[in-house]
Amino acid sequence: MKTLLFQSMRVRLEMAVSAFFLFAALALLVVYIATSSIYA
């Protein structure tokens, strides 16, 4: 039972980390497009 709980926590943590990286990449992309359109 304890291993199942630990595994679900680990999966949730991995999902949170990947979602954070995805959001960070998306934010960087938006900033890059915005700044390039301002300077263009």
Q: Report yes or no on whether pTM surpasses 0.85.
A: no
Nearest C-alpha neighbor of 36 from the set 24, 28, 21, 25: 28
Confidence band of 8 (pLDDT split at 50, 70, 90)? very high
Render pLDDT for 16-33 as a digit per residue (tens, 0 to 9). 999 999 999 999 999 999
3-class DSSP string for the chain? CHHHHHHHHHHHHHHHHHHHHHHHHHHHHHHHHHHHHHHC
Work out how many domains the chain is built from and give that number. Answer: 1
Please state whether 13 falls in left (phi above 0), alpha (psi between -120 and 50) or beta. Answer: alpha
Q: In which domain, by residue range, is 34 found?
A: 1-40
